[in-house]
Every structure is written in C-alpha cells, then in structure tokens.
Structure 1
Amino acid sequence: MTPTAQPGEAGSRELRILSPTAILGYGFPESSFRAGLDRRPHLIAVDAGSVDPGPYYLGAGVSFTDRAAVKRDLRLILVAGRELDIPVVIGTAGGAGARPHVAWTESIIREVAAEEGLTFRLAVIHADLPPGMLRQALATGDLRPLPPGPEATAADVQESRHIVAQMGVEPFVRALEAGAQVVLAGRAYDPAVFAAEPIRRGYDAGLALHLGKILECAAIAATPGSGGDCMLGVLRDDHFLLEPLNPDRACTVTSVAAHSLYEKTNPYLLPGPGGLLDLTETRFLPESERAVRVEGSRFVPAAEHTVKLEGARRVGFRTVSIAGARDPAFIASLDDILAAVETRVRDNFASVPAGEYRLLFHVYGKNAVMGPLEPHPVPGHEIGIVIEAVADTQELADTICGFARSTMLHHGYPGRISTAGNLAFPYSPSDFKAGAVYQFSLYHLLRVDDPDALFDVQLVQISEDAQ
C-alpha cells in the first residue's frame, strides 16, 4: 500500500501507524482499535516484551504475559492486518525475545490463522547469539561493558541460559523487502518495530525512530495515559502527529514531551543500535485539541555499530514469607530483631557452606522501596515484612525461610506484651516457593561490522489449515 495524502495536504505523503497496546497481551478496547482501522493505517506494529520485569523470564524462557490475553490481542491484530492487506510487525516476542519466546508466540499465531482462515507470509527473526561467538568477541575486545556495568567474563557467557541481542531496523527492513506480511521478531529495539517500514520507504530516520519511541508505549503518552489503549502515529516528511484513538484521551504538548524523556539518562540523547536519537532541536506543537505535532528530531549514526546484549543465568531457588506488624515496640526494635534473627539462622545452619544461601528482609513502611536513598526514613504505624531466602536448592531455601520466619515470630524484644507471636500472616500457608531465581549475567554492548548478519530472517507460508 502506498502512503496517501490527506485532504489539505496535497502533494505531501504520509504513513499512518496503528499501535494497539504497550505490550502484546496488555489488551486494548475494541472501539479504539476499530477507530484506528477507520483511519486506514499502513502498518500495525506492537512491542511484545520488555526487560523491565527482570531476568527471570529471559532465563526461564517463559513469557510474563498470559497466553489467552496474547491470543486475544493477536486475533484482532492479525485479522485486521489481512483485511486491510497491511504488514503486522511484532517485536520482542513472548516478553523477552529468546528462541522459546518466539516459538511460543509463533504457535499462537498459527492457532489464530487456523481458526480464522488466514493465509500470509510470516517472517521469523531470532535474536539469540551462540556462546562461541561471544567468547571470541570477548577475546577481541568487541564485547564491552554498558556503563556503569562491569566487564564481561567467559563465565558470564558460559553460564547464561539465553543470550539475545537487541536488533535494530535492519532485519525488519529485510523481512519486509522479502514480502513478509507478518513479521515476528525476537529481542528488538522497541522503536525499530515501528520505524523499520517508514525507513524502508525513505522517511527520515530521526522522525521515524522518535515516533517509534512514543508508539511503543501506545496511549501512555496521552492524558490520561494508558498502556492498554491505542495510539495513531502519522509520519510525514518533516514532522509526525500523535493522536489517541479513545475519545476520552488526548495528547498534549506536555504529555508527549514528557514521554520523550521516558527511560533516558540524558533528556536529549537516546542511544540505540547503530547511533543515537538527538532531540536537541525537537519541537512539540499542538496540532488540535487531541493531537500533537513533533518536528526536528534527528538520527546521528555512530562511528561503529553496537547492539545491546541481554543474558540471564540461574543463581538458585527462592522461598518467601510475608508478614505484618504494628506493635510500636516491635517497630522500634526492628533493626535489632532482624540482626538477631540473621545471627540465629547463621548459628543454626553453621554446617551449610558459605554462599549456598542468602537471607534477606524487605521491610515495607521502612525504606523497602528506596533503601538507603530514602529521603524520609520514618517508620509508620505498621510495617510489612518480606522474608526472602535464596539458596542452591528449593529445599534449603524452604528451610532457611521457615526457620527465619519462626524465629522472628517468637523473638523476644524490649517492651513486648504478647508472647503468642510478633507477626500477623495474611496467608496460610505462610511460606511460598517462588522457584528458580535468575540474574542478569550479560547486559553489555557487542560491536559488529554487519548488524544484518547477526539476525537470520526465515520466511514461512502460513495457511489456514497449518498449526
């Protein structure tokens, strides 16, 4: 489909992009989505994941979004894409974008296609990198820290369950050039999902990437904001427009400019694969009561191309217990109580080798969120305590957490009146097995000569009877 001019824009071209939701599976009102389809978009694109939920989902190879919710969103999106004969582009499949996440999402796509009688060309782009390649990059100095992180080690590479590279626009462009009607990608730079098709058609890269940076969160940039509602982006040669598709929301200069600061250490510069987005000359202007016009954003290519790596390794198993307390004397003595419980656990399990378990306390109502950075460290009238044990085995984590919980429950302290128990438990059983624990083993930059060579594009034909 060729970009068309709107009435009053004779001689100009534009490309309309529909962003249904901030993350595939977060949902969106069908009324908003239909309003977007009425605007005849040239592209439906959606981000399907994020690193925000932490390393567990990457390491475990599972999605943080619900399958039924993802299938509901995909059904509406895929049917609309085929009805309008426009591309559908999905990035960071399955939440973390590793091979199992892509396979999980592809299985849902195939189910929807079979149930709805859809036929299309699907491009699958994996983001996984083999450890051997990264060990070589480590030896040549091409695997680098992402400041202020540490240098990578061979053990970091070897112990990672999954390692993904954050792809830019290049593999998406290649897939679309090859005739893909649906593109399913692993870990991707969020704006690339929206910017690839405009860049392929010759639109300005800076404007396309800035538009993508906002559209990846859908209607969060509106007021009132929501990640579960639709946004329309209209890209032209020298500016773009943003408009929410729910009449109860509006884009304002403040809401769009504020969202442009989202997830950035520098308010003007946003590094990404192959360069950075420069907003020093960007202007935000009201276009209507509900739409904002943005112009002046630039893309500055880097001297060398780098992509961000994410890897996760398993570090043990977790058990937690949640309790509350409101005795002022208990709260006043809390630091001493926690230290005494920790000492008692350490003494009771002195035979357990050092490093096989960790005991942590998170006290809500007393610096649990900000820790030592809390500007107002004053306990309230009640506190919530999360007792957390992480150990090499689930059994040891259960043991350490249970012993710490029972010790704290009956620990004596100055001013105690009731000896029946110090803690109130909202649940029975009081202890929860949280399973495997992962940490980021790689959060680094990889220098590459040819970013396109990292990501293989596989084209497959999907027919209504293929699952």
Structure 2
Amino acid sequence: MATPCPLLPTCNIVTPIGMLGYGLDESITASLLAAVIPNGSPTALILDSGSTDSGPEKLALGQMTSPRTSYVRDLRKLIRLAWRFKVPLVFSSAGGDGSDEHVEEMVNVLKEICDEEGNEHYKLKLIAIYSAVTKTFVHERLKKHAISGCGSQVPPLTAELIDSAPRIASQMGPEPFYDAMMATPDFNVIVGGRAYDPSPYIAFAAWASKTSLNDTATPEAKSLWGGFTHMGKILECGGLCATPKCSAVRATVYQDGTFDLTPGEPQSRCTPVSVSAHTLYEKSRPDLLYGPGGWLDLTKSSYESLDDGRTCRVRGGCFTFSRDAGQKYTVKLEAARVVGYRSNYMGSVKDPILISQLDSVLKAIKTYVAQQHEGVDGQWDLDWHVYGQHQTTADGRPAEVFLIGEALASTQELARSIASTARIATVHAPYPNQKATSGNLAYGLGGKMESDLGPCAQFSIYHLVQLEEGEERLKLGTDSNALYRQELTVIGRGHSQPAISDPPYSKKEEHGQTPPLLETSIGGAHYPTSPKTLGDIARVLRSKNAGPYEITFDVMFATQPVFQLVKSSGCLNAAVIAGLNGISKDQVIWSGFFDQALAYKATIPRLWRGNPTPNGGFMESDVHGSQRYIGLLNLPLSKAFLVEWSDLVAKRRVDSGV
C-alpha cells in the first residue's frame, strides 16, 4: 500500500475574537501565534468587524458597532502583536458597516496609535480598501434588471429606495484583498471596507499558497478554494466553533485545502460536532452556502479529532465559482434609511381585572390616540411590547405584566405626542368591573414619563447585483469608475522591526502538558430517563438571524443514537416549525437534517403583522433573533417518540450490563 503524502502547511491564521471592538486577550493570542509560527508558513492576524445582526442604524445613521475607544483598545493590542511577531494584520467591514467613512476612521485610529508615546518604533505599510458603491451605479444596474432580492422575503428594489439611502455598501469578495496583497506583498495592515466575512481569510490563504485566481475549475482547485472558504467561514466567528465556546482560535491550512482548528483557551476543544455545528450558525441552510462569485458545497465535508483532543481537522468542502458555472458574479448590496422617529413609555400592570382584558383595553387606547390626533400633519403608528401576559404566579394568580408602548412618527415631536397620549390613556382608561380608579399603570422608571428614542432606521437595500467581468477586482490606478479601490500609505516614525522576542507563555503551556479534555463518548452523554420536551434531549438549541429578513433555528444532539432517533421519529419537520411560529408550512424557507453536526435546522421569514420585515426597525424586541427558540425548547415529545426512547434506554442498559 502506498504511503499517503504528508500534509504540508501553506499558511496559518490566528483570529483573536469574532468581532473587532469586542475585546481580546493579548496573552492568549500571543500563545496561538507562537504555536504556529515555527512551522515556517506565512502567518497573519485576521478578524472581522462587521455584521447586519445588530440592526440598520450603522448604515442609516453612520454609527459604528462599538465605541471608538473599544476599537482603539483592540487595535492597540493587535498592532503590538503584529509588530512583535512580524505578521500582518487584516480586518474587514471596518466600524461595523464597512462604509468608506469608517474605513477612514480606522485608518485614523491606527495613525493615532503609531503616534502615541512609546510607539515611536512603529512603521507600518497600511492598505485601505474601499467598497462603497455609487447610487449612479446601482440605478444603472436596476435599469438593466441586474439586481434581485437576497432571499425570497426581500422586496424588489426601487429607484426611491436607492435615492433615500445615505450610503450603499457592497459585500466584496476575496478578490480585492488578494489583489492588494499581490500588489504590495510587504504590507503590514489591511483595513477593509464591507466584505463577505470570509473574504480576507480566503484571500490570505490563496496569496500565501500562491494559488491563482485563474485556477478555479478543476476538481483539485474547487477542493482547494472550498477549504479556504470553509476555513474563513468558521474563523470569522472566532472561537465560537469550540466547546465550550471561547474567543480565540487558530487555523493551519494545508496544500490540498485541509485545515486544522485549535482554540486559544485551554479549557476549550474544537471537536467534529462543535466545528460541523458551526456550519449551521446564522445561515439559511447548512449544506450550500452562497457568497460573492460562487457557492460552497459542504455535503461531503468531514471532521476528525486529532490526538491532542483539542484540534479538529476539516476537509471536503468544494467551492464552485460562478463563472465556471456560466453565471454572473454577484455581490450583495446593503443600505438602510431613516423611516421616522420613535418615542416610548413603559410601566407595569398588576390588577388581575385589567390583565384579563388587556388586549381590548390596548385596542381602545389606540382608538383614543387616533381621535386625539385627527387632522394632525404627519404619519404615525403605535404598538406595544407586552411581557408576562398569560403567565401566573405560584399560587395561580395572574402575574405582573410589563408594557412598553412604542410610537413611530414622521417627526420626533409627533412621536412624543403619540407616546404621551397613549401613556395618559393607559393610566386612566376605564374598563369593565374596574375597582382601582386612581391609575392603571405603575410607571416612571428612571424618572421618565416618555422617552424620545430618536431616528428609527430600517434596512432598505439587501439585494444582489450582477457584476461585469473584472468588476470584482481591485483597481490600483485612478479609475474613478472602479467599484473597489485602495489607498496605500505608510504610518509611524520607525525604521525597522526588532527580532521576535520570547513568547509570554510557559513551556508547560507551549507543549500542551495541561491534560487534554477528551471528547464525550457516545455512552457518556447523560439524559433524563423520562424526557418530556425537546430541550431535555438537545445538546444545543438556538435561534439567530440569517441575514436581516430571516430567523434560523438549530437543534443539535450529543450522540448519534439520539440524533438518529429524532431524525427517524418525524418529530422535527417543516410542519412543526410552522405550527410553533404561527405561519403556514409553505412559508418555511428551509427545513432538514445535517448529519455531520448531528443537527436539525429550519429557517423562517421575519414577520411583523404578517408581513416580511427586516430586523432592527419599528417594534423590534429581539434584534438578533436569539430568543425565538423557546417554542422548540418546550416542544413536547410525542408518545410514539417516548416509546422508542424507552426502547433505546433499555437497549443501552443491556449493552452496558446494567
């Protein structure tokens, strides 16, 4: 039998945290760098800085995801690490939205850090990549019918939506990062505009391995690009792929696209289940993942634990470039606009007589507010967040109900008037059998009657645009019509880098002498003898945004027998998801099992008043969608399932000799 060829590393990537600005551990990141640099392959610090998860305010109002001081704190650490270990630093979607102004802001932050006392030795070659697109470009593509919604829930794009957007970002692919690295191979820092989250990872892996963007069509090339993309898709969330989840993670990528993942925190492990499970995270479906210029197919992906008990080896991803399939290259456009102004009031209700008829009272209040604003110029809306309704105390009495009345109007003054009128009506509204005539609502939290919340933003563009050949590439000249452009500058006053100093960790940590955490065996997972709900048998049960217009659910199991029992029982399917969420079965966007992760996944549209709506707008109460899983958590297990469960438990006892 022929001896298999050894895996040869082509690059290493360390991600210290899943989002720049969230805080990172400098010593753990240093340990990860020190662990991979000895293999002699190019190494980089790469991380993401953007997301639509936190809502539309960044794009609509020009805000950053984190305070500027948080970016200064994190970049100060990262530059220190990059300088010390002589590795480049790359991050994308600067400031959260990746707008041109936030790219410039991050460049200014880096300049300030270099000018700080004690940093006189820094001298960095910095590349800023800009990805904003002009309204003229978007209008032209709209007229050519080259724009479509990114998902079935996204409404068609209109000229009015284009014109009303303060800024339009495009999620660039890996090509601009790759082109920048090729043009300036001795770069120290790349600050990227809005990008597909894996883009800088893919670009560095391709650049470091000398993989050409012209070599994409062969099976070997598709496997290689598949490995790069899969690696980037996992690393962009940092140590979320570990169990327990942590902040930092490192990857070593090999010449065939295989890659190894190791978490930074010593108590965490990257296991086949934890890594494959991350494939589901924030995505509409787990098997085919679409991005700029093509799609990643993970149906044949495989995951293997290595001997250290903490590292997972991944292979089998396949990336198909759009052009190789005879399709246009597409990128996602993102924009948001202000749709009005918000005010709110809040308080609680304890009276059981009022609680029993709260819905009809709130309906009457909205009618009263409308009567009081007849003939008033401007548009408005009013609704309530109601918490605790239909719940009872330990002795069976109605529990306290908390109300937040939210007003949206065309002006802040009108929104305040709507909220104030609604609050007064809530306090004094009569209702049948009323006994407490001095007031219905306990209010005044923080000394406020009403609070002005300022502009209300809403995603207005979340669409795919077709590019002409070559438009996805970085233009290095002065072409004003280029989609993606760069600025190269040198910052700092230093002259040369010092040699690498001794890493700040003990030899014990370096050689991994801490006893490894062993992966749980099939028989080692513990379950209740008589489970009642899905939450009793699921290892992970979560919900999350899959873009602004969708909510996705992931249910994962610790062992193969339990997963197979759930899969064969029919207790999880599109009809169940529809029933739990009050929608029809045909509204479920995706439903299915993903064997590699021992998981079930389903995706539904975000709806408000029965209509598709993006996250973060009027009446938003869960911008991440992270608390939508409770119905699944409490889903009763069927009698038929419990019979099979009992048989499984009995068989396990026989097999173990109990």
Return the TM-score normalized by structure 2.
0.65
* 1:456 maps onto 2:485 in alignment: yes
Contact 1:231–1:243 (Cα < 8 Å) also in 2: yes
Which deviations, in whole Å up to 9, do the C-alpha atoms of 1:65-92 show, x marking residues without a partner?
1221211111111121122222211100
Cα distance, 1:444–1:380 mapped onto 2, change above 3 Å: farther
Deviation at 1:11, TM superposition (A): 7.0
How far did 1:281 drift?
Answer: 0.5
Instruction: Work out whether 1:265 is the aligned partner of 2:288.
Output: no
Give 2:179's aligned amino acid.
R
Are the structure 2 counterparts of residues 202 and 414 from structure 1 closer, same or farther at C-alpha, using a change threshold of 3 Å? farther
1:263 alignment partner, SS class: coil
Runs of 4 or more off by more than 4 Å in structure 1? none
* Structure 2 counterparts to residues 54-453 of structure 1, below 5 A: 54-115=55-116, 116-117=119-120, 118-148=122-152, 149-179=154-184, 180-200=187-207, 201-202=209-210, 204-226=224-246, 229-238=247-256, 239-287=258-306, 288-302=308-322, 303-353=327-377, 356-366=379-389, 381-425=399-443, 426-449=445-468, 450-452=471-473, 453=482
Answer with 1 or 2: which has the greater Rg: 2
> SS state of the match for residue 488, structure 2?
strand
Amino acid at match of 2:150: L
Unaligned runs of 5+ in 1: 1-8, 368-378
Please tell me the residue identity of whatever aligns with 2:15. Answer: S
The RMSD of aligned alpha carbons is: 1.9
Q: 1:169 to 1:340 in 2, by over 3 A?
A: same
Within 2, Cα distance between the matches of 1:103 and 1:409? 49
Count the aligned residue pairs: 444
Counterpart-to-counterpart distance in 1, 2:49 and 2:151: 26
Question: Cα distance 1:366–1:38, how it changes in 2: closer, same or farther (>3 A)?
Answer: farther
Which residue number corresponds to residue 645 of structure 2?
Answer: none
How much does 1:132 deviate?
0.7
Deviation string, structure 1 residues 134-180 (Cα, Å, up to 9, x no partner): 11111111122222112111101101011000011011011111223
8 Å Cα contact 1:277/1:297 also seen in 2: yes
Asked whether the 8 Å contact 2:127–2:191 carries over to 1, the reply is yes
Deviation at 1:246, TM superposition (A): 0.7
Q: How far did 1:256 drift? A: 0.9
**3-state SS, counterpart of residue 461 of structure 1:** strand
What SS does the aligned partner of 2:20 have? coil
Residues 145/83 of structure 1: CA separation in 2 closer, same or farther (3 Å cut): same
Deviates more, 1:187-196 or 1:140-149: 140-149
**Larger RCO (CA within 8 A; separation ≥ 6):** 1
- Scaled by the length of structure 1, what TM-score is found? 0.91
- Any conservation in 2 of the 1:234–1:242 contact (CA below 8 Å)? yes
Q: Give how far 1:199 is off.
A: 1.4
- The 1:246–1:390 alpha-carbon spacing in structure 2 relative to 1, beyond 3 Å, is same
Give the direction of change, closer, same or farther, for the CA distance of 1:437–1:289 in structure 2 (3 Å limit): same
Change (3 A) 1:11 1:240: closer
Give me the whole-angstrom Cα distance separating, in 2, the residues matched to 1:404 and 1:56.
Answer: 26
Cα pair 2:227 2:315 within 8 Å, conserved: yes
Task: List per-residue Cα deviations over 1:358-406 (Å, max 9, x = no partner).
Answer: 1121112359xxxxxxxxxxx9723221111111111111111111112
Q: 1:173 to 1:366 in 2, by over 3 A?
A: farther
SS at match of 1:93: coil
Match of 1:14 among 10, 34, 40: 10
Deviations 1:411-446 (A, max 9, x none): 122343322322223321132221111111111001
Matched residues in 2 for 1:419 and 1:186: separation? Answer: 58
Aligned equivalents of 2:255 and 2:398: distance in 1?
55
Q: Note the residue ranges of structure 2 that are not aligned, 5 or more in a row.
A: 38-42, 212-223, 391-396, 474-481, 495-658
| Counterpart-to-counterpart distance in 1, 2:26 and 2:370 | 56
Find the counterpart in structure 1 of residue 26 from structure 2: 30
Q: Distance in 1 between matches of 2:94 and 2:359?
A: 44
Distance 1:415 1:241 in 2: 68
Change (3 A) 1:408 1:205: same
Q: Tell me, what secondary structure is at the counterpart of 1:427?
A: helix
Conserved 8 A contact 1:161-1:314: no
